[in-house]
Structure 1
Amino acid sequence: MPQNDKPDAKARRHEILKTVSQIARPDAYVLHEAIRLGGDEELRRHGGALFLSAFAAGLSIALSLIVPGVLKTHLPEGDWTKIITSMGYSVGFLVVVLGRQQLFTENTITPVLPLLHDRSVKTLWRVLRLWTIVLVGNLLGTLAIATLIAHSGAFEPSMQKAFAEISHDAIAHDFGATFVKAVFAGWMIALMVWFLPATGSAAPFIIMLMTWLVSLCSLAHVVAGSVESFYLVVTGAATLADYGWRFLLPTLLGNLFGGTALVAVLNYGQVAPEVEETREVEGKRPD
């Protein structure tokens, strides 16, 4: 797309977001367009900026291990304890999402909508490029912060013990069970992304609710879970093979399926007739 078209796209997204905020119950097409135009902007971002944002997200998401670990250390044992500690899991997501940092699971829906809108090899390549940069940045960030948590001496032994106990669940299941857990996690996070344009000032509550449920149900999230898995690896409680086979591969596949197939594709399906009708009226824009 020519450079002088970019401000028009941004202005159009701004107008749509303004419309969303003014409508009590925006319809599916309005939400779709708000997310699609946002995804289109992400696909056009510079690779270096994407990587730095993704690396920052990998660091920030460590709060989803640190805060539950601190809560676990100071709370008595009980059936209700997990309900409280799981709330701490939301803190990392609040920082990442509200801080507009790049998180891989958010990108299972936002760039997929432009791809469904323009099913071309060029757009597919842009999506794969975005996914690769963001995932690598996220994972390197989680490895760096997990190493600091384990070896910096910033956390007391009692907290380190709590971190290890929480982290063990990430690699405690077989490939199939982890994949299914990841499908549900990818579905819930993608639904959260779909809801956000319509939530306005309630966005923090929606983020907290959906991510709290992910933690409470012990579901598998490829980025937050990588902090936990890498923590076990750098402390010698697990191997890289455990991380790769028991966590990373099934979780990555499950999150992708849950986000793209169960949310992006299905939600696109309900607005596809309107999208095609709009494209026919406006004409296909030059890329």
Structure 2
Amino acid sequence: MVVKNQSDSTDNAETLTNIETFIEVYKYALKKATSPLIKTFLMGLAAGLFIGIGYIGAIYATRGWTSSLPVGIKNLVFGMVFTIAITMIIFMGGELFTSNSMMFLGAVKKQVKVNRLLLNLLIVLIGNFVGCGIISGFTALSGFCDDKDFLNNAISVFNHKLEMPWWQTFFSGILCNFLVAGSVYIAHSTKSSTAKFLLISLVIMVFALSGFSHVVANSYVWFLGPIFNLYGHNVSFSQFLQFGYQNQLPTLFGNFIGGGILLPGMYYIMYKKNLPNPITL
């Protein structure tokens, strides 16, 4: 692949250069810092709803698969279906804790206040959790849990995440946000909607089929835990709490490090000598 120089770019070009893409991603992160908090919450709510819907589709698509089938095929189908969630967020609008973590670079460059960064991340995370919680409730009310194969598949996902040691979820969270924040990053490299869709789908498919830990996606499964009790599968309050501190908390920090520090930081170091100072909206 031939990478164009920055000077080769034109305003009409569909594909941006690497440094132009970084600048657009940085501006995207800066805009989040100026967004009204009520909008941040509602956009977080929308993203949580979309993530939950994507999870329903992925669990439903892979329900009832027997052990005789290659597990890789099941994971591939799961990943392909789940891409609808991030596609809806990118094209319809929505904010995730994972992508908002990229605001950290603005805080390092002192263009975003630290208290604004923390408040934004808290508000968007609450919105994400509320959205996923709503969809978890709708999962039961819509009759999905009446399908034994769907229920068993969902319980299997819950148990798998519950049993993961915290250090695995932490590093899995780092890998996860390389891809989720990376999907937002790569979407800024082109102005073509078709190209955006294909690029996002490829990146998110790898995240979903690999089972990397995403604090928002995990929350959908987390909130399903108490609902399982209505269908004869006991999930105690202690197990619900265990999921929170053993899975969600390490995933939260892993996601922030992966998408807030390592991914944007790596590209900032590469391009910082050629960036305008400051980068303005």
TM-score, length-normalised on structure 2? 0.83
After the TM superposition, which residues 132-143 of structure 1 pair with which residues of structure 2 at under 5 Å, given as runs?
Answer: 132-143=122-133
Q: 2:104 touches 2:261 (CA, 8 Å); kept in 1?
A: no
Corresponding position of 2:5 = none
CA–CA separation in structure 2 for the residues paired with 1:174 and 1:135: 23
Report if the CA contact (8 A) 1:35-1:113 is conserved.
Answer: no
142-151 vs 210-219, which moves further: 142-151
1 CA distance for matches of 2:77 and 2:128? 27
CA drift of 1:268 comes to: 1.1
CA 1:136–1:21: 2 relative to 1, 3 Å: farther
1:150 pairs with 2:143 = no
Is 1:36 the counterpart of 2:29? The answer is no
Match of 1:268 in 2: 268
Shift of 1:138: 0.5
Q: 1:207 aligns with which of 196, 200, 209?
A: 200
Structure 1 Cα separation of the partners of residues 27 and 65 of structure 2:
44
Residue 175 in 1 paired to residue 157 in 2?
no
Distance 2:47 2:11 in 1: 27
Q: CA offsets per residue over residues 82-123 of structure 1, 9 Å max, x none?
A: 2222211212121122212111111122x2343233x26x62
1:172-251 equivalences in 2 (<5 Å): 172-199=163-190, 200=192, 201-236=194-229, 237=235, 239-251=239-251
Q: Distance in 2 between matches of 1:140 and 1:43?
A: 21
Distance 2:243 2:11 in 1: 41
User: Is 1:91 matched with 2:84?
Assistant: yes
SS at match of 1:198: coil
Mark the CA change 1:177 to 1:20 in structure 2 (over 3 Å): closer, same or farther.
Answer: farther
Matched, 1:256 2:249: no
Tell me the C-alpha RMSD between the 2 structures: 2.5
One-letter code aligned to 2:153 = A
Please name the residue that 1:5 is paired with: none
How far residue 262 of structure 1 moved from its aligned partner, in angstroms, is 1.5
**CA separation of 1:168/1:266 partners in 2, compared to 1, >3 Å: closer, same or farther?**
same
Give the direction of change, closer, same or farther, for the CA distance of 1:172–1:93 in structure 2 (3 Å limit). farther
**Structure 1 unaligned runs (5+)?**
1-17
Equivalent residue, structure 2, for 1:112: 104
Counterpart code for 1:114: G
| Contact preservation (8 Å) 2:58, 2:78 | yes
Within 5 Å, give how 1:123-138 maps onto structure 2.
123-138=113-128
> What displacement does 1:235 show?
2.0
| Cα 1:233–1:125 shift into 2, 3 Å | same
